[in-house]
Structure 1
Amino acid sequence: MLSTQSAEIVRATLPVVGAHLDQITERFYATMFAERPELLDGLFNRGNQANGEQRRALAGSIAGFAHALIRHPDERPDTLLSRIAHKHASLAVTDDQYVIVHKYLFGAIADVLGEAATPEVVAAWDEVYWLMAGALIALEARLYAERGTADGRTWREWTVVDRRQETPDVVSFVLRPSDGGPLPEVLPGQYVSVRMRMADGVHQIRQYSVSGGDEHTRRITVKRVRATEDAPEGEVSTLLYEATRVGDRLTVSAPFGDVVLKDGDRPLVLVSAGIGCTPVVGMLHHLADTRTTRRVLVLHADRSRAAHALWRETSELVATLPNGQQIVWYEEGDGGLAGQMDLSSLEIPADAEAYLCGPVPFMRRVRDQLLAAGVAARDVHYEVFGPDLWLPAD
C-alpha cells in the first residue's frame, strides 16, 4: 500500500511525528476553526473540542494507521477504518471535507515540525494521509449506498410520539418518521445521530444507540450530562432532556455503527456500565425476537438500582431467553453485587463472543478479565460514545 521510499521515511520519522501529534492536532483544529468557523456548525463536536478528546482521537488514529502500514504493509487496518467510517457517515461527512482537513493538517505539521518537515518527509506523510482518506471515502460511499443515504439524504425528520422517564437523569424518546415513510433497517447495536440547533444558533450532533422500537417506531435513550460553559459536552443531552416533548420533531440520521451483534450459536457475554446499557438492550430485543437458544450472560455495573436505566426491561428480556442470565453490580449494593464488576468468580465460556459498552477505563478492566478467562481478543468487541480513545491490541 505505502511506497517503499515513503515507508522508510515514515518508519524513520514516526517517533518524531508521534511525539508532536498532540501539538500538531491542536494547531490544526485551532487554525481550521479560526478560518472555517462554519465547520463547527453541524459537523464537529465542540464539547469534544473543549475537553481535548477529539484532538487525542485524531492523533491516535493517524499514529495507529501509520503504525499499521509499517507493521503490515500488505494489509489494510479495516477495524480502525470501519470505526471511523461509520462515525463519519453518521455525520454526513463529504469527500471535499477531506481536502479541507488536508490543507490545515499539513499546515500544522509544517508549523510544528519546522525544519524537520522537509519536502521528502511531507511527501511521505502526504501519502499516508491520502491512503487513509481514500480508504475512508470508499468505505463511506459504500455505507451511504447501503443505507440509501447518498446525495446528502442522511438526515430525516422524526416525530416524538412518546417520552419515558427511565431514571432521574435518563429519558427515552420513541420516534416515528414524520413523513410516514418506511423505517430504515437497524442492526442490533447500531446508533443514530441527532442534530440539534443550540441556543446560539449553532447545530450540534450526538450519537445515541437504538435501544428499542417496533415495526412503526425507533427508540433512543438519552442520559443528561449537565453542561457548563467550561464543559459543553453535555449541551445536546441537556437540551433533549429538558426541552423535547411529545409532538416535537428531531432531525435524525440513518443507523450506523460497526459494533453489531453477530448471528450464530456461540455463547454471548454482553457487558455494560451506566448508559452503556443502551446498545445491549437493543441486542437483547433482537435475541428475544429471534427466540435464540444461545447462552447469553448479561453483566452490568452502575451506581445504584435507581440509576440503572432500563433495568426492568433488561430483566424481562433476559427472562425470555432459555439460556439467559443477568448479573449486576451496584456501587451502593442495593439489589445487586456490591462494588465494581469482577468476573473472576464467573464461568465465562472460552468460546464466547463479548460486546462491551461503557467508560473506557471500565472496558479496559473487563477486557483484561475476559482475556484472562480465555476469550480470544478478536472476539471482544467494544462501543465508545464519542471519540474512540481506545484501540485495544489485536
Structure 2
Amino acid sequence: MSTLCEKTIETVKASVPFLSENALKLTCHFYQRMFKENPEVKVFFNPAHQVSGSQQAALAGAVCSFAENIETPEKLAAAVELIGNKHASLGVKAEHYPVVGKHLLGAIDDLLDPAPPEILEAWGEAYGFLADVLIGREKELYKEMAWEGFKEFEVAQIVEESEVIRSFYLKAADGAEAPASKPGQYVTLRLPDGNGSTTMRNYSLSSHGCSELLRISVKRESPQHADQPQGYASNYLHDSVKAGDRLELGAPCGEFYLDVEAHEKSGIPVLLLSGGVGVTPMLAMLQASAGRTFPVTFVQGAMNAAQHAFSEEVAKLADANANVIKHVRYSAPAEGDMPDSEGLFDEAFLSEFITTETEVYFCGPKPMMAHVLGALESMGHPQEKVHYEFFGPAEELKKCPMH
C-alpha cells in the first residue's frame, strides 16, 4: 500500500479549519453533483437518509475525521472496517471509486471557486490513498462472503412477533443450506422501489445456527413527523410480501458480532442490551452463547408488553441455560404489564449489570442508543468494551439530543 508524501499531508491538514466550517455545504453539493451526472450510483444510498440530511452530515464528519487523522491512518481502522463491510453488503466495487473521487474533487473546486491546484492535487492523492485501503479490504470481504451479489430466497414462513415486528423465515430457492454467519451480522435485501428500479436495505439476522433457514425480523416503520414518509422497505415487506414469495438477499456481512469462541476462552461476561427492534442481532448473539461457560445477561427494553417481541423465545433460552440471565424493562408500561423494571437505561440501572470487565453490546432506536452511549461514557466504561450496531450514519448518535 502506498504512503502519502509530506507535502500532501501538510496541505490536507491545513484544510481542516475550512472543512470544519464548510463540510456540510461541501457534501450536500457533492451528492447533488454525483446523482445528477452519475444517477446509476443512487441505488447504493438510502433515500430517507438523503432527505433527512443525515447522509450528508455523516460524510461531512468522515471527511473531517480523515483530514484530522491523515498522519495516523491506523486510528481510522474501525471506520474502514465499518465502511468496508457496508460497501461489500451493497456490492460496491473498485470501479465505483473514481466516480466518487471525481465529484468530491469537483465539489471542492466548485466550493473554492476555483480551488488552488495544490489543494486539488493533495486531496486527489489523499482520496486515492483511502480508496486503495477500502478497495483492498472489500476484496478480502468478498472472498470471505458466501456469495457475491444477490441470491434468491423463498419466504417459508411469516410470524407476527409484536404489534409492529414481523419475522420472515427464508430458505434458499436453490435448496442450498443457509449460509454461515457470525452472530450479530446482517443481510442485505434488494427490493423493487416502485419506480422501475431497486433499493437495498440491511436487516440483522435474528437467529443463529439453523442450517436450513435465515430469519430477519422487521419493524413496520411509521413516520416520526407528519411531513415524513413511512419507511418504504419495511412497509413493503409487511404489506406486500407473502409466504412463497421470493426475495433477493446478499450474503451475511457486518463487523458487529459476538466472538463466542473468544469469550469461551476468556470467560469475560457479556451484556446484551436492546431496545425495540434492536433486539434482532442480540437474539442471534444470545442463541450462539446460550449454554456456553461465560455469563450472559440479556436486557431487553420495550415500551410495553404489546411491543415486546420474542418474550417466550428469550424466556425459554434463559430457563434452559444456566449461563443466561434475562431482564425486561418497559419505558411506558400499560395497565397489567409486569416487566422486571420500568424506566430508561440510565447509569444507575446499567451499573447493576456491568463490571469493568463486561463486554457491552447494544442496539436499538437512535435516542436509546445515544442515551446508553452517553451513560457508559459517564460511567467510565472502557471504550474498547463498548460495541454497538446502528443502521444509519453513526455520527447521528453523537449529535442526538439524548447523548
**TM-score normalised per structure 1:** 0.92
Within 2, Cα distance between the matches of 1:335 and 1:231?
A: 34
Partner in structure 1 of residue 311 of structure 2: 311
Cα deviation per residue 1:298-353 (whole Å; 9 max; x = unaligned)?
A: 22222112112222212222333313222222122332222212241514121111
1:190-201 → structure 2 map (5 Å cutoff):
190-201=185-196
Q: Which amino acid aligns with 1:83?
A: L
Partner in structure 2 of residue 300 of structure 1: 300
Partner in structure 1 of residue 14 of structure 2: 12
Q: Which amino acid aligns with 2:367?
A: P
Distance change in 2, residues 1:232/1:93 (3 Å): farther
Distance change in 2, residues 1:102/1:382 (3 Å): same
Quote the sequence identity (%): 36
CA shift, 1:180, in A, is 0.9
- 8 Å CA contact 2:13, 2:70 repeated in 1: no
2:57 equivalent to 1:56: yes
Q: Which amino acid aligns with 1:18?
A: S
Q: Which amino acid aligns with 2:112?
A: L
Cα deviation per residue 1:104-126 (whole Å; 9 max; x = unaligned)?
A: 111111111224x2111122222
CA shift, 1:52, in A, is 1.2
Distance change in 2, residues 1:17/1:124 (3 Å): same
2:376 equivalent to 1:362: no
Q: Which amino acid aligns with 1:43?
A: F
- 8 Å CA contact 1:301, 1:329 repeated in 2: yes
Within 2, Cα distance between the matches of 1:319 and 1:373?
A: 31
Within 2, Cα distance between the matches of 1:155 and 1:279?
A: 21
* 3-state SS, counterpart of residue 207 of structure 1: strand
2:215 equivalent to 1:219: yes
Segments of 5+ residues of structure 2 without an aligned counterpart are 399-403
- 8 Å CA contact 2:346, 2:371 repeated in 1: no
1:237-248 → structure 2 map (5 Å cutoff):
237-248=234-245
Partner in structure 2 of residue 342 of structure 1: 346
Q: Which amino acid aligns with 1:114?
A: D
CA shift, 1:178, in A, is 0.2
* 3-state SS, counterpart of residue 90 of structure 1: helix
Q: Which amino acid aligns with 1:356?
A: F
Within 1, Cα distance between the matches of 2:48 and 2:196?
A: 15
CA shift, 1:371, in A, is 4.3
Partner in structure 2 of residue 331 of structure 1: 331
Within 1, Cα distance between the matches of 2:69 and 2:364?
A: 26
1:1-394 → structure 2 map (5 Å cutoff):
1-40=3-42, 42-70=43-71, 72=72, 75=74, 77-115=76-114, 117-149=115-147, 153-212=148-207, 214-226=210-222, 231-232=228-229, 234-263=231-260, 264=263, 265-288=267-290, 291-333=291-333, 334-336=337-339, 337-345=341-349, 346-373=352-379, 375-389=381-395
- 8 Å CA contact 1:192, 1:253 repeated in 2: yes
CA shift, 1:233, in A, is 6.5
CA shift, 1:280, in A, is 0.2
- 8 Å CA contact 2:157, 2:243 repeated in 1: yes
Within 2, Cα distance between the matches of 1:159 and 1:311?
A: 26
Within 2, Cα distance between the matches of 1:217 and 1:296?
A: 25
CA shift, 1:390, in A, is 5.1
Segments of 5+ residues of structure 1 without an aligned counterpart are none
Within 2, Cα distance between the matches of 1:246 and 1:347?
A: 40
* 3-state SS, counterpart of residue 344 of structure 1: helix
Distance change in 2, residues 1:109/1:230 (3 Å): farther
Within 2, Cα distance between the matches of 1:187 and 1:374?
A: 29
- CA RMSD of the aligned region, Å? 2.0
Within 2, Cα distance between the matches of 1:44 and 1:332?
A: 34
- 8 Å CA contact 2:297, 2:353 repeated in 1: no
Within 2, Cα distance between the matches of 1:4 and 1:38?
A: 36
Within 2, Cα distance between the matches of 1:210 and 1:256?
A: 10
CA shift, 1:190, in A, is 0.1
CA shift, 1:30, in A, is 1.1
Mean Cα deviation higher: 355-364 or 250-259: 355-364
* 3-state SS, counterpart of residue 69 of structure 2: helix
Q: Which amino acid aligns with 1:303?
A: M
- Structure 1 ranges of 4+ moved more than 6 A: none
* 3-state SS, counterpart of residue 134 of structure 2: helix
Q: How many positions carry a matched residue from both structures?
A: 383
Within 1, Cα distance between the matches of 2:321 and 2:380?
A: 24
Cα deviation per residue 1:75-104 (whole Å; 9 max; x = unaligned)?
A: 352101000110111100111111111111
* 3-state SS, counterpart of residue 281 of structure 1: helix
Distance change in 2, residues 1:323/1:32 (3 Å): same
- 8 Å CA contact 2:202, 2:391 repeated in 1: yes
Mean Cα deviation higher: 189-198 or 103-112: 103-112
Within 2, Cα distance between the matches of 1:69 and 1:318?
A: 47
Within 1, Cα distance between the matches of 2:330 and 2:52?
A: 28
CA shift, 1:132, in A, is 1.5
Distance change in 2, residues 1:146/1:202 (3 Å): same
Q: Which amino acid aligns with 2:222?
A: R
Within 2, Cα distance between the matches of 1:356 and 1:34?
A: 38
